[in-house]
Structure 1
Amino acid sequence: MPADKPPVGQSAPDLEIVGNQVTIHPSAVTGGEPHDDEITERNLVRHMARFRENPFDFLREVSLYMSGTGWRAYDDVIGQPIFYSGFTDRMKSRILASTLLQGKVKELAATRLAVEEKEGLLDIQPGPVDRKRTHRRSEIESHLREVVDSMLDSMICKMESKRFIRGAYYLCTQLLTRAYHQGIHVSSEEVLRLRSVAEEAARKKQSIVFLPCHKSHVDYVSLQLICYRLGIGLPVVVAGENLNIPMLGPFLQHAGAMWIRRSFGNDPLYNTVVQAYIDTMLQQGFNFECFIEGGRSRTGKLLSPKFGILSFILDSVISGRVEDTIICPVSTQYDKVIETESYISELLGQPKRKENLADLLSSSSVLSLKLGRVDVRFHEPWSLKEFIAQQLTRLPEQIDANGGRTLSYDDRGRVLRSLGYRVLSDINDVSVMMPTALVGTVLLTLRGRGVGKGELVRRVEWLCERVRAKGGRVAHFYRYPTEVVVERALEVLGPQIVGEITGLVEPTFHAVDRFQLSFYRNMMIHLFITEALVSTAMYTRIKQGGGPSYQRMSYGDLVNQVSFLSQLFRGEFIFPPEGLATNLEKTLRGLERDNVITVSRDTSGVPLFVELSDAERQCGRENYDFYCFLIWPFIEASWLGSVSLLGLTPPLNGPKDVWIDLNKAQNNAQLLGKTLYHQGDLSYFEAVNKETLKNSYQRFAEEGIVHVAKSKESKASSVRLAPEWIPERDAETGKLVPRGRLWDFTELIAQSRREGKNRRDGATVSSRVMRMSDLVGRKLFEDAASPSPVEEVDVSMRQMRRKAIAPAKL
């Protein structure tokens, strides 16, 4: 990217806030046509003074924060009053006065009373039965209120002290700027729009519900810092009780954390307490924050939405208990994520370590890292009430006995899923592609052991153009040549992830830790998912070799393979909502316009054949290969998951209804994958990614290939093949026979796999791979206990329900 042609577009400028000065600067995000404005890199938060370097300035800063000088006082806040003495008690009294909560207490007390009366436990004292019944009901209700009070004490945030929050802001800014030395960046247009929406919401006493993506523990810190620095009411943040650890837990609770259990189980009272708490916050107009993905993404891309807290918010508005609330999707991107090393360990099968403060602060020496910058982008907020009204127009009318409208369980599920995927789509729309993501993507989508610096820069420039052409945004290029930006990205990634070989004609770089580097590649895969699926569908013919005429694919075959792959990855990626036909046509025209493919059409414009263009063949298929390399690891993971199912085939002379522990089955699939990788039958080690394998098993269950059951007495899940999908065994040898529905399904996935030199030996799933899977499976059957009573999931009904409310496939 030449320095005399700055790739800076008409994106909104960035905002710098230092002291009491608010300054607008040209954008740090590129996109669109270039212009010649002066560009300077700016941060939202400045570096804090350090005692060793300048003790006078350090002490001066501390005194300014503790005394609340200027903006640090956090007095003129946009939103409802927070951080005052008595805030917690006031919130608790409002929650306890909730009609919903009081009704549930009375309901549970009546249920318990009926049980005791039926068992004859009421007749313990002389006197009228009605009086004893009333007395006992009061006792039960009193006990339940004590339980509720205990639940609220451990759950409720305690925004009590402005002096505390000023100190917390100072401490968190110190820690964050030590780790992310380029600070937090935001768009001034987005922030000014957010302030305007916050002012309007405050007038109407409505809440803003921030719904960020979740890649790191830094996510909620950065959003809180932004709200504090811009004078917007800090949101109450939903957090799992796993973070409620000594020292850190009370600190976060006083800064706005709302602790909830990781699983509610079958506890109607706890469920109602959470609903009443959320109702109260939304009724009073307090800002609120929860992560749309639930837990942190350990793969770098967006996870499927989790509907727990989202369901509570939706119920508050649908029920009419809350008039309306404002939804604000938020994208948080990083040059480098602190926790990636621990993520990789977990994805490779290591048990997740329990959270503790020492690990949190010492993650890769967090206090002395230079991890680049954090980029936070806010989508335009929108009304949840209006969204619901729009969704209801698409549903059939259901009138209740009073003439009002009712929502069935399935219809409510459709609205909820639409809400979740709308938020994910909005997050993707505003996400910024960081330089580390660009460099990591290029390194993982080139053939060969390494790449020269000149070629790396050229491909990064090409990728930036493709990102902007797809409507994406690229972070902080300014006037710097692409070479400088690449050097910065390589410095942030470090030699443990990207290695450099010196002493050659030019510096040559190679991926040292491909697994960790894939985290950064996955940050941008959503932009090119449709092109990737089309390319790997075409690969079913292209990998057969021969001249262009042999590699040409009929449009009908292309549609069939793309449809199959999009269904296979329905829960893995977020597809455009327009539907298969529209998305496929747009993708083909885009690839045709970029001179990657040639589409033969009849006189009416209907596609007949698709093939690589002459220009793409002449350049060595580098652009076409880029799209294939993006998704090949995920295809490998699905293929591995399917191959591992062969190991669930019951032994020849054993029982056919044995249930296998699901976790053990997935662990064995991972072990099988590691073996196949080191033996050359698997091209990508990241295909053994535990999360991707779990997603594959979930898709297999939704398609009815396997049945999943949950124990009535524990949280353990079990799995077995559906009878119609069980492969045959040879009657004499007991070996698996390569035919049947599961074999055909596996082969269909394999058609789009990357062909490797070690797999040109006949059938894609060779006899040794089948033997290996069967060998691993035998151990599962040996360890499995005799069939035990389980509560089997109704796969067919669940499958129909999920298909009815699932997001549109490609």
Structure 2
Amino acid sequence: MALWQKIYYKLLNLPLSAWVNTQCIPSEPVEQLNLSLARPIVYVLPFQSHTDLLTLRRTCLRQGLPDPLTPLTIGDVTLPRYVFISHGRKVFSGDDDLPARSLAHFKDLLHLHRQDSELDIQLVPASVLWQRDPGNETQRHQAILRAMNGPEKLWTILTRGRDGMVRLSQAVSLRYMADKHGTDQAIAHKLARVAMIHFSRQKLAASGPRLPNRGLLFKRLLASKAIDKVVHDEAQTRDVSVDKVRKEAIDMMEEIAANFSYRLIRYSDRILTWLWNKLYQGIHVNNAERVRQLAQDGHEIVYVPCHRSHMDYLLLSYVLYKEGLVPPHIAAGVNLNFFPAGPLFRRGGAFFIRRSFKGNRLYSTVFREYLAELFARGYSVEYFAEGGRSRTGRLLPAKTGMLAMTLQAMLRGLQRPITLVPVYIGYEHVMEVNTYAKELQGQRKEKESVGQVLGIVRKLRNYGLGYVNFGEPIALNQHLNEQVPDWHDYINPMEPQKPAWMNPVVSDLATKVMTHINDAAATNALNLCATALLASRQRALSREALEAQLGVYQALLTQAPYSASSSVPQDSPADLVDHALSLNKLVVEKDTMGEVISLDRQQAILMTYYRNNVIHLVALPSLIAQILVTHKSISRSGLRACVQQLYPLLKAELFM
């Protein structure tokens, strides 16, 4: 690097280091992207930008990755460790062609692979996203991936410099490219084209499609054949004017539709970061990369989380935003549409749904058409299949209405594949757990209100750890192909279809979703301690016995994992017990034998909630152990026969 370039970078880095604060996606790129630090790495950036390069450099050094400004030396050849795909934009020029220097760089790298059969350079796509606002559908159309000129970049850094994101992607093996496709100039061009498509999809996955204008959205919905037909049918049946029924339909749209605001999302990010730091000691996220890949591949993503707490709405949207994905449009109960929470939720992406559609054909049609519009426009959606929050900690049987409407949207002939992403959300403390216990004892459910929200705010304290685990996705096209091979014959863009096979297919899908949620369960210090203590006599164990039991659980769940999506804490049993004690839910007494850890009567009732979150993980080992204890001695075939007889009951009850 020339001396003038070093001086320039040092001067430019001074304001950037003071003002810019970017987040790396994924948070641990070496581990999560399976990068090998023993093999050479070259970074590929979409646009020529010294600001982006220095921002990437800071992130790489923080993550233990090679410095992009350090040249790559292979044998007697020295090359830059980065390459730009496009010139970018100048103030008075729109030139963004592939620079000749970049093309030459690709050719040189491929040439090295032709000379050395053992060489395998990793090309790591790296982009810096300074803003993620997709804009409104009424604004002038711009390309998804667009470089900024100097003044635009300066203004963006000044206003959004602390909200930037450095996105690293799966490495491309140049050895594979050379062996599979060759090393000529055409391959160099192909690499550049594929990289630019990759960056465009990445930007769309991070910002999403343009946001709808509510007025235009309502006009489109009213013009749909399904709503137009039901409006005229209702007017004729009730002997009222068409305009009156149309006005009712518009009122329903106003009640239902979200009013998504990216500005609110951006401000909420700071508020929620403070809130989670106030409430929890950390949020553990697992398997987010599989969701990023779905978004980048152009899937219509429907998140289907379990429902533990009102915090679920905020937590999942926050996690997705932090993971470089678009916060979804969320189906929320109309009971949450109270002032001031309702308008805020609506601008955060919530659309409201009544508890029952029964007997209201107009409402059901309007809602179904609104949901189909979200899918058709490419907005990710979130709904809770259980319908309401679990009061026991176990998964509730899924309510199938939203799943059925999702399949009906497919039967309208959607072009993009729809994929359900089951999500396990777990907490070491659920805010409403005391309320759940009272409701199970017969107390009426308290109606959501401003007072209830203020009551929660007054109780803000440290609630331990939170967990968001993304389960194995369910591709609806594939599911239908397996269940109903001729489902394409039922596609009708005009009328919603409900063929005879719909109910059994939806029922099977609902069970599959809930099973995949449980597959992604997260064990933690509290639910493991709850499981051990509630299974012991008098709900008490010595500290040594409790630690030994936690060690057994950890070994069992690690060496014979329940599923590839579940997670097990890696801390030592002693640390897990210390952490559980810090949450002030366990009673500790000391005697001559040492510490005895127990649960009092009230906490024992509440701790069943946390045990029930993960009881399915140990149900089968527990069944086998109980059979062995009961029979004293039994053959392998006899044990298998006993398990086969009883397991279907557990499977149906616990979504195993």
Question: Shorter-chain-normalised TM-score: which range?
Answer: 0.5 to 0.7
1:199-214 mapped onto 2 (5 Å cutoff): 199-201=296-298, 206-214=299-307
Whether the 8 Å contact between 2:337 and 2:343 is mirrored in structure 1 is: yes
Q: Give 3-state SS (helix, strand or coil) of 1:352's partner.
A: coil
Residues 1:24 and 2:117 are matched in the alignment = no
Deviation digits for residues 134-170 of structure 1 (CA, Å, limit 9, x no counterpart): xxxxx622111100100011110001x4332222222
1:98 positional shift: 2.0
Whether the 8 Å contact between 2:523 and 2:569 is mirrored in structure 1 is: no
- Residue matched to 2:581: 490
1:243 positional shift: 1.1
Residues 1:185 and 2:278 are matched in the alignment = no
Distance 1:532 1:365 in 2: 41
Q: 1:20 to 1:470 in 2, by over 3 A?
A: closer
1:97 positional shift: 2.3
Distance 1:360 1:516 in 2: 22
Deviates more, 1:250-259 or 1:327-336: 327-336
Deviation digits for residues 155-205 of structure 1 (CA, Å, limit 9, x no counterpart): 10001x4332222222222222211132x2223xx333322221221xxxx
1:481 positional shift: 2.8
Q: 1:477 to 1:398 in 2, by over 3 A?
A: closer
- Residue matched to 2:104: none
- Residue matched to 2:434: 341
1:231 positional shift: 3.4
Q: Give 3-state SS (helix, strand or coil) of 2:28's partner.
A: strand
Deviation digits for residues 58-102 of structure 1 (CA, Å, limit 9, x no counterpart): xxxxxx999433536999552675686x63223222222222212
- Residue matched to 2:314: 221
Residues 1:432 and 2:522 are matched in the alignment = yes
* Aligned counterpart in structure 2 of residue 243 of structure 1, from 330, 336, 340: 336
The amino acid of 2:28's aligned partner reads I
- Residue matched to 1:71: 163
Whether the 8 Å contact between 2:327 and 2:380 is mirrored in structure 1 is: yes
1:252 positional shift: 0.4
Deviation digits for residues 432-468 of structure 1 (CA, Å, limit 9, x no counterpart): 2112111111111122452110110000000111222
Whether the 8 Å contact between 1:212 and 1:427 is mirrored in structure 2 is: yes
Distance 1:375 1:172 in 2: 16
1:553 positional shift: 11
Whether the 8 Å contact between 1:185 and 1:373 is mirrored in structure 2 is: yes
1:558 positional shift: 9.7
The amino acid of 2:594's aligned partner reads E
- Residue matched to 2:177: none
1:255 positional shift: 0.6
Q: 1:409 to 1:571 in 2, by over 3 A?
A: farther
TM-score (norm 2): 0.65
1:408 positional shift: 7.7
Which residues of structure 1 form unaligned runs of 5+? Answer: 1-16, 29-39, 41-63, 114-138, 543-547, 576-810
Q: Give 3-state SS (helix, strand or coil) of 1:522's partner.
A: helix
Distance 1:563 1:484 in 2: 39
Count of aligned pairs between the two proteins: 473
* Aligned counterpart in structure 1 of residue 227 of structure 2, from 101, 104, 111: 101
Whether the 8 Å contact between 1:76 and 1:231 is mirrored in structure 2 is: no
Deviation digits for residues 106-152 of structure 1 (CA, Å, limit 9, x no counterpart): 23234345xxxxxxxxxxxxxxxxxxxxxxxxx62211110010001
- Residue matched to 1:709: none
The amino acid of 2:294's aligned partner reads V
The amino acid of 1:387's aligned partner reads H
TM-score (norm 1): 0.53
- Residue matched to 1:283: 376
Whether the 8 Å contact between 1:282 and 1:322 is mirrored in structure 2 is: no
Residues 1:447 and 2:528 are matched in the alignment = no
Distance 2:293 2:219 in 1: 31
Q: Give 3-state SS (helix, strand or coil) of 2:587's partner.
A: strand
Distance 1:351 1:323 in 2: 44
1:237 positional shift: 0.1
1:287-298 mapped onto 2 (5 Å cutoff): 287-298=380-391
Q: Give 3-state SS (helix, strand or coil) of 1:337's partner.
A: coil
Q: Give 3-state SS (helix, strand or coil) of 2:317's partner.
A: helix
Deviation digits for residues 349-370 of structure 1 (CA, Å, limit 9, x no counterpart): 1111111233234338442x11
- Residue matched to 2:269: 169
Q: 1:486 to 1:18 in 2, by over 3 A?
A: farther
Whether the 8 Å contact between 1:79 and 1:286 is mirrored in structure 2 is: no
Residues 1:384 and 2:476 are matched in the alignment = yes
* Aligned counterpart in structure 2 of residue 517 of structure 1, from 607, 615, 624: 607
Q: Give 3-state SS (helix, strand or coil) of 2:243's partner.
A: helix
1:389 positional shift: 1.2
Whether the 8 Å contact between 1:329 and 1:379 is mirrored in structure 2 is: yes
The amino acid of 2:310's aligned partner reads H
Whether the 8 Å contact between 1:316 and 1:322 is mirrored in structure 2 is: no
- Residue matched to 1:578: none
Whether the 8 Å contact between 1:451 and 1:508 is mirrored in structure 2 is: yes
Q: Give 3-state SS (helix, strand or coil) of 2:386's partner.
A: coil
Distance 2:591 2:329 in 1: 55
- Residue matched to 1:416: 506
Deviation digits for residues 352-396 of structure 1 (CA, Å, limit 9, x no counterpart): 1111233234338442x1112222122343421221111114x9x
Q: 1:536 to 1:90 in 2, by over 3 A?
A: farther
Whether the 8 Å contact between 1:237 and 1:290 is mirrored in structure 2 is: yes
Distance 1:315 1:366 in 2: 43
Whether the 8 Å contact between 1:538 and 1:553 is mirrored in structure 2 is: no
Q: 1:439 to 1:273 in 2, by over 3 A?
A: same
The amino acid of 2:534's aligned partner reads L
The amino acid of 1:574's aligned partner reads F
Whether the 8 Å contact between 2:21 and 2:163 is mirrored in structure 1 is: no
- Residue matched to 2:252: 151
Q: 1:382 to 1:265 in 2, by over 3 A?
A: closer
Distance 1:170 1:507 in 2: 42
Q: 1:511 to 1:553 in 2, by over 3 A?
A: farther
- Residue matched to 1:691: none
Whether the 8 Å contact between 1:346 and 1:352 is mirrored in structure 2 is: yes
1:483 positional shift: 0.2
- Residue matched to 1:755: none
Distance 2:597 2:550 in 1: 14
Residues 1:230 and 2:323 are matched in the alignment = yes
The amino acid of 2:328's aligned partner reads P
Q: Give 3-state SS (helix, strand or coil) of 2:331's partner.
A: strand
Distance 1:570 1:246 in 2: 42
1:299 positional shift: 1.3
Q: Give 3-state SS (helix, strand or coil) of 1:502's partner.
A: strand
The amino acid of 1:150's aligned partner reads D
- Residue matched to 1:47: none
* Aligned counterpart in structure 2 of residue 481 of structure 1, from 550, 563, 572: 572
Distance 2:343 2:541 in 1: 49
The amino acid of 1:145's aligned partner reads R
Distance 2:640 2:569 in 1: 38
Deviation digits for residues 261-310 of structure 1 (CA, Å, limit 9, x no counterpart): 11222101111011000111111111100012111112112211111111
Whether the 8 Å contact between 2:22 and 2:164 is mirrored in structure 1 is: no
Distance 2:415 2:473 in 1: 18
Q: 1:446 to 1:491 in 2, by over 3 A?
A: same
Distance 1:197 1:398 in 2: 23
Whether the 8 Å contact between 1:77 and 1:232 is mirrored in structure 2 is: no
Whether the 8 Å contact between 1:533 and 1:562 is mirrored in structure 2 is: no
Whether the 8 Å contact between 2:408 and 2:497 is mirrored in structure 1 is: no
Deviation digits for residues 389-423 of structure 1 (CA, Å, limit 9, x no counterpart): 11114x9x9999x9xxx998652111101111111
* Aligned counterpart in structure 2 of residue 499 of structure 1, from 575, 580, 587: 587
Whether the 8 Å contact between 1:439 and 1:489 is mirrored in structure 2 is: yes
Q: Give 3-state SS (helix, strand or coil) of 2:221's partner.
A: helix
- Residue matched to 2:215: 89
Distance 1:248 1:452 in 2: 46
- Residue matched to 1:529: 619
The amino acid of 1:19's aligned partner reads T
